[in-house]
Structure 1
Amino acid sequence: MLIPSLVLRWLITGLCTIAQALLKGYEDAIVIPEINANFELKHGLINLVQNKQFFGYDKEDPHAHIQYFNKITSTMRFPDIPSTSIKLMLFPFFHCLEKEPPRSILTWDDLVSKFINQFFPPSKTKNLRNEITRFQQRFDESFYEAWDRFNDLLRACPHHEFLELHQLDTFYNALNANDQDSLNSAVGGNFLDKMPRECLRIIEC
């Protein structure tokens, strides 16, 4: 039995609409700006980025990975092509942002913000900042063990935004009385009256 042309046209239109909807759901989250130049990503460039992909494991630091990605891409220069466009093109080879809606990332700053918030949410930052602020030397912990542990906390939250002076003040006040006295003796007075660079030199010598 032949299908009337009107019905056939309706079926084709419906199938095309469904196909477009399905394809739209699989569009990339990152929108690449139009590049008016003859350009393509070289395999060597892609491999360089893929050598240190980010998988979102607990021990992976998203800030460190962004710094690595920026370091790699900062060495790339292409005439008439903005560096941010190159970054947007390369990032899917570095990490796939599966949870972001299609065509929801329009700029590099937007991408970095969503990437960091996905793997380092504000609640995690708040908890780590609180750990730094409440830091205390343990009863059985030596001075240098306490210093190493304090620095581990700072490294775990690279965007803690604590100034160097605030860090030193927090660490000094977390120490037991004997270790505070040792630092004061080393500077011949109040340890915290010295410049941060001098304080760090004394701690690390």
Structure 2
Amino acid sequence: MRTRNSYFPNNSNVTIPRRRNKGRAPNIVEPELRTIVAPMAERTMEELLRAPTEGYGEAIVLPEINADHFEIKTNLLQLVQANPFYGRESENPHAHINSFKRITSTLRFRNVPNDVIKLMMFPYSLEGAAKTWYEKEPPNSILTWEDLVTKFVNQFFPPSKTTHLKNEISRFTQKFKETFSEAWERFKELLRACPHHGFTELTQVDTFYNGLNKNEQDSLNAAAGGNLLSKTTREALNIIENKSKVRYSRNRSNVSRMNATSSKTDERIDKLADQLSTLVEIVSKKVSHSRSG
């Protein structure tokens, strides 16, 4: 029968560890690891620098450019920034888009579509409320130039404004004491203020003609040799433009004649004043001479 000591040699210095009582061993529970995110105000600078950056990307997604050594020069950006759009009530986003397109249409880079250039440069043309609007747009939400124009126009030229201006155009009426030239310029200004009005040139001519007073309608019909609305759209527009220019040139001629007449009158008054001054001086000398004698 093997004894306990037979496992070890005689005079062994091995210390036999005391046998542990498994029944009394404590149950050790590993602590659950949780990530506690402190509020932004309570985070340290180091934590903020390590904060995730998801959701802070650009709104515009630029397509890949298969061109070598392509970059937008600083002077081109400055050209775009020279006339920025602020998003004010008095500003017209359509006018800004047209101006921006005129500038960027002159830029040509090999293997770089013009729409890509416009997408890259457009954010640099915004300031104030317009820049804030763009920075708040969701990341990767603008994929094409059409997307950008649609969002930009809807933000700063809402449908309600479009409806108002279209009503102003369709209800156009010549004002009291408003000349033909003034009425035509006001009508064209309404069209420019809402370039997406949708009215054809034929509708524009018809609307303007019917908004004039009876005398101006008769004058247009006489210039057309009959009924203005029986002419082609292009012929009718030419007649309206010519009538506007003739009236304007006549008014300007009248003003020029009035200014010329006024100038001649002033010259006569100046000559009479000089003559009177000379006469007074001669009389003064004679009186002085007679007294001294």
TM-score, normalising length: structure 1: 0.85
- Distance in 2 (CA, whole Å) between partners of 1:177 and 1:72 is 45
| CA deviations over 1:37-82 (Å, ceiling 9, x no partner) | 4322211121111112111122222112111211211222222222
Moved more, 45-54 or 93-102: 93-102
Shift of 1:108: 0.9
Shift of 1:10: 5.0
One-letter identity of the residue aligned with 1:122: P
Equivalent runs, 1:1-205 vs 2, <5 Å: 19-20=51-52, 23-37=53-67, 38-95=69-126, 96=131, 97-205=134-242
One-letter identity of the residue aligned with 2:163: K
Q: Secondary structure at the match of 1:98?
A: helix
Name which structure has the greater RCO, CA cutoff 8 Å, separation 6+: 1
- Distance in 2 (CA, whole Å) between partners of 1:77 and 1:138 is 48
- Distance in 2 (CA, whole Å) between partners of 1:82 and 1:191 is 46
Whose radius of gyration is greater, 1 or 2? 2
Shift of 1:93: 0.7
* Change beyond 3 A, Cα 1:19–1:35: farther
* Change beyond 3 A, Cα 1:204–1:36: closer
5+ residue gaps, structure 2, are 1-31, 38-46, 243-293
- Distance in 2 (CA, whole Å) between partners of 1:74 and 1:141 is 40
Q: Secondary structure at the match of 2:135?
A: coil
- Distance in 1 (CA, whole Å) between partners of 2:227 and 2:106 is 46
Shift of 1:104: 0.8
Q: Contact (CA 8 Å) 1:29, 1:104: kept in 2 or not?
A: yes
One-letter identity of the residue aligned with 2:232: M
Q: Contact (CA 8 Å) 1:24, 1:102: kept in 2 or not?
A: no
Q: Secondary structure at the match of 1:184?
A: helix
- Distance in 2 (CA, whole Å) between partners of 1:40 and 1:172 is 52
Backbone CA RMSD of aligned residues: 2.3
- Distance in 2 (CA, whole Å) between partners of 1:117 and 1:76 is 27
Residue number in structure 2 paired with 1:3: none
Q: Contact (CA 8 Å) 1:132, 1:153: kept in 2 or not?
A: yes
One-letter identity of the residue aligned with 2:60: I
Shift of 1:36: 4.1
| CA deviations over 1:109-141 (Å, ceiling 9, x no partner) | 101111111111111111111110011112222
Runs of 4+ in 1 over 4 A off after TM superposition: 9-12
Residue number in structure 1 paired with 2:21: none
Q: How many residues align?
A: 194
| CA deviations over 1:3-52 (Å, ceiling 9, x no partner) | xxx96x9579xx69x822xx334322111223344322211121111112
Shift of 1:197: 2.1
* Change beyond 3 A, Cα 1:122–1:140: same
